[in-house]
A = this chain, B = another copy of it.
């Protein structure tokens, strides 16, 4: 029997491929996967255990309880200057389910979604598996800064949405306030959804501004966020979206028909986290130290490192050293040095590779040393 035409074209993840190859290598330095090495506060786990011992853990309300959703709304209002309430919030099985369910809610067949490149690779599949068309927008000439004049070049009357992460994965860049203001002025005039993946908001090296904080576009902004990066709770699968109420009432149905229910215990821990650990500054500080350290090392070597302003990645241009495709360059780097990075092509952008800053400084120092040997050889 013939399978879905879109799923047949989903490639095997390059990130997984590189990681698996690296795992077979002795003493490899793994800088591939965006899995936080920092552990969540022990109190969160303790609370979860205590909760599980004293409560039934049934199906949750679709899209999460009103209590949890109102805590999320208050959190965004307090820290990120939005003006939302529980009726704007939907809990998700991580922000990836959020993205999947959002596209099931807003896309019709052949609707176009603009995705600035480099981009978090599942975005492309999320659009295609909902029968939408990803339209890629290369931002390399602007040092990965998204600009209205470039969106204008690819927007059409079939454009339903634009989707990007800020702070950016894989770029490590976070838009400056004035860059956001310009974008918002542009979005005000356009009849498209602005989907901002803000999953790295808590890991911002400068004050973070949310797209949810602009009243002038609040009828078209859909924000994604969650606890995977802010609280290192990746395996708990707990994220959320913020959407206009008119969208949210359908989004809840899309999510329900996609996954049935949230994870009860993860919701309980999320409530506790929002009330007791709303911000974990040490995570941000540690990633920042790593980012600034390694960016300087690599810039000093002659690499073109995108300015790290948030998230836990460096996106590194290597044009000075090689014209190779990024897959070849990354494979050669791995083979010669044991340093495993992800080729830019995995994110739609050649001539770069991505480093995940999920290792301690001493290991990053060693990686820098090996990369230096590699390029001077």
Contacts and interface: CB of A to CB of B under 8 A. Distances in A.
Interface stretch (A138-146, A261-269, A285-293, A363-371): A261-269
A59 interface: yes
A58 B35 contact: yes
Contacts of A354: none
Interface string A125-136: 110011100000
Interface stretch (A249-257, A299-307, A319-327, A331-339): A249-257
A10 interface: yes
Contacts of A125: 253, 257
A48 B52 contact: yes
Interface stretch (A74-82, A176-184, A202-210, A232-240): A232-240
Interface string A84-99: 0000000001101100
Given A8-B250, A107-B4, A45 B53 contact: yes
A49 interface: yes
Interface in A216-265: 220, 233-237, 247, 250, 253-254, 256-265
The quantity of this chain's copies bound in the complex is 2
A55 B96 CA distance: 24
Interface string A109-137: 10000000000001001100111000000
A5 interface: yes
A356 to B, nearest CB: 13
Interface string A1-29: 11111011010010010000000000000
Interface residues of A, number: 67
16 contacts: A1-B106, A1-B192, A4-B107, A48-B49, A93-B97, A93-B259, A93-B260, A96-B260, A100-B259, A122-B257, A122-B260, A125-B253, A235-B264, A237-B260, A237-B261, A237-B263
Given A59-B235, A129-B258, 20 more contacts: A4-B106, A4-B254, A5-B108, A7-B250, A7-B253, A8-B250, A13-B256, A33-B59, A35-B58, A39-B56, A45-B52, A46-B53, A57-B236, A94-B259, A104-B129, A109-B131, A235-B261, A235-B263, A237-B262, A258-B258
